[in-house]
């Protein structure tokens, strides 16, 4: 079984219950879970039956203990998590949208342990020993200058060890603030262009490519964008994208795309009756983590002998992420059996008895 290592920040997620606005829910109770892109990917891979390790830095206190225990209980290897007496657990607050009202996220991540823990605290050669993939994202370098340097060193070590690198761009304009004299987009572009030469698998969409890679404003189909990424970064072997069409906050059409540079071919999913037909998700329970579920499904498939063919891998990723929209919270508690059932067209609402 192939080992996948993910690196990034895990936070406390404090969500207003149901579809309440912050002003309605507070003062009052918020629903608390743990969340973070790279942790979500590791959790989903483990839940599907893969081998995943998550690396981060967390404060040495009881709440972080609960966070680590949660991941361990879900099958994630947490042995390389750095515990520190400095820093804090990052937080984000979520107001879930409904119908034509969009959801919103408020970050509270300044001074978190991962933002300030220095690069030498991570033993990357030992962490990456025996790994096939390292997953990073464009979120971690946005947290702080220090976190960007840790990400660079992780990617550099992985490249030297022959570990393939996947990067999920995830542009977050609210986070790119650590260089005051630069606009968020300019800082993101400068930083990510330095990291892209290490990347084998690019995961992202139009906004990510435009805002973080310095590509010209893009108008066209996603296949052309994928080829544009490969032309600018010839080290990239594959480009993956989620294909979301938002009708409202609770109604989306959903699918995925995988471009293979070696085959010079694009694969879309779901594919039915000889053409791309996206999943119609008409009652979204929670859309946060949907992209992470796609990334997890794709990496799991690419490291599974019976799923790694590109047309199957993207189909598995799209089905996994579609199902994630039915689950409360960032973590995708979807099984491989459920994903493969959806891939074969089984989407009945009948209760399984």
Could you report the per-residue pLDDT of 244-269, keeping only the tens digit for each? 999 998 899 999 999 999 999 999 99
Could you report the per-residue pLDDT of 145-194, keeping only the tens digit for each? 999 999 999 999 999 999 999 999 999 888 999 999 999 999 999 999 99
Could you report the per-residue pLDDT of 206-232, keeping only the tens digit for each? 788 888 887 766 556 888 889 999 999
| pLDDT for residue 209 | 81
d(CA 255, CA 249): 17
Assigned token pair, 316: 């598995």
| pLDDT for residue 205 | 81
| pLDDT for residue 347 | 61
pLDDT category at 90 given cuts 50, 70, 90 is: very high
pLDDT category at 329 given cuts 50, 70, 90 is: very high
| pLDDT for residue 300 | 98
Q: Does the pLDDT at position 350 exceed 70? A: no
d(CA 34, CA 205): 25
| pLDDT for residue 210 | 80
* Residues making up the chain, counted from first to last: 353
Q: Does the pLDDT at position 305 exceed 80? A: yes
Rounded to an integer, the average pLDDT of 92-101 is 92
Task: Answer left, alpha or beta for residue 87, where phi above 0 means left and psi between -120 and 50 means alpha.
Answer: left
Give the number of other Cβ atoms within 10 Å of residue 251's Cβ: 14
d(CA 80, CA 134): 14
d(CA 121, CA 119): 5
Which of 213, 125, 203 lies closest to 166 in space, CA to CA? 203
pLDDT category at 109 given cuts 50, 70, 90 is: very high
Axis-axis angle for helices 145-161, 184-195 (nearest 10): 20
Give the number of other Cβ atoms within 10 Å of residue 58's Cβ: 25
d(CA 128, CA 164): 11
| pLDDT for residue 273 | 83
220 or 34: which carries more pLDDT confidence? 34
| pLDDT for residue 216 | 66
Rounded to an integer, the average pLDDT of 26-34 is 95
pLDDT category at 349 given cuts 50, 70, 90 is: low
CATH topology of domain 3-341: 3.40.1190
| pLDDT for residue 1 | 63
| pLDDT for residue 320 | 97
| pLDDT for residue 219 | 57
As a whole number, the mean pLDDT across the chain is 93
288 or 215: which carries more pLDDT confidence? 288
Q: Enumerate the domain spans of the chain.
A: 3-341
């Amino acid at each position: 079984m192939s080992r996948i290592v993910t690196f990034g920040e895990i936070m406390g997620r404090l969500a207003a219950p149901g579809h309440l606005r912050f002003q309605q829910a507070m003062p009052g109770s918020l629903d608390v879970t743990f969340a973070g892109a790279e942790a979500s990917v590791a959790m989903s891979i483990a839940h599907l039956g893969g081998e995943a390790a998550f690396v981060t830095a967390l404060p040495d206190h009881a709440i972080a203990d609960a966070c680590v225990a949660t991941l361990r209980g879900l099958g994630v290897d947490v042995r390389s998590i750095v515990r520190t007496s400095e820093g804090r657990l990052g937080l984000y607050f979520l107001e879930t949208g409904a119908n034509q009202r969009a959801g919103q996220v408020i970050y509270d991540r300044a001074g978190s342990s991962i933002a300030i823990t220095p690069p030498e605290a991570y033993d990357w050669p030992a962490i990456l020993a025996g790994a096939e993939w390292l997953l990073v994202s464009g979120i971690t370098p946005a947290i702080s200058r220090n976190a960007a340097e840790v990400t660079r060193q992780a990617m550099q070590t992985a490249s030297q060890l022959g570990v393939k690198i996947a990067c999920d761009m995830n542009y977050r304009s609210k986070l790119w603030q650590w260089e005051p004299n630069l606009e968020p987009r300019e800082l993101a572009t400068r930083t990510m262009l330095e990291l892209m030469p290490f990347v084998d698998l690019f995961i992202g969409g139009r906004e990510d490519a435009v805002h973080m890679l310095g590509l010209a404003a893009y108008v066209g189909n996603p296949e052309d964008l994928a080829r544009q990424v490969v032309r600018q970064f010839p080290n990239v072997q594959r480009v993956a994208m989620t294909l979301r069409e938002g009708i409202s906050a609770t109604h989306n059409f959903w699918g995925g795309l995988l471009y293979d540079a070696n085959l010079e071919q694009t694969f879309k999913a779901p594919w039915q009756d000889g053409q791309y037909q996206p999943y119609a998700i008409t009652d979204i329970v929670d859309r946060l983590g949907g992209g992470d579920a796609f990334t997890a499904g794709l990496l799991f498939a690419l490291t599974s002998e019976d799923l790694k063919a590109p047309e199957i891998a993207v189909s598995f990723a799209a089905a996994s992420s579609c199902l994630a929209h039915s689950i409360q919270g960032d973590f995708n508690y979807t099984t491989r059996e459920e994903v493969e059932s959806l891939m074969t067209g089984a989407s009945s609402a009948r209760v399984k008895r």
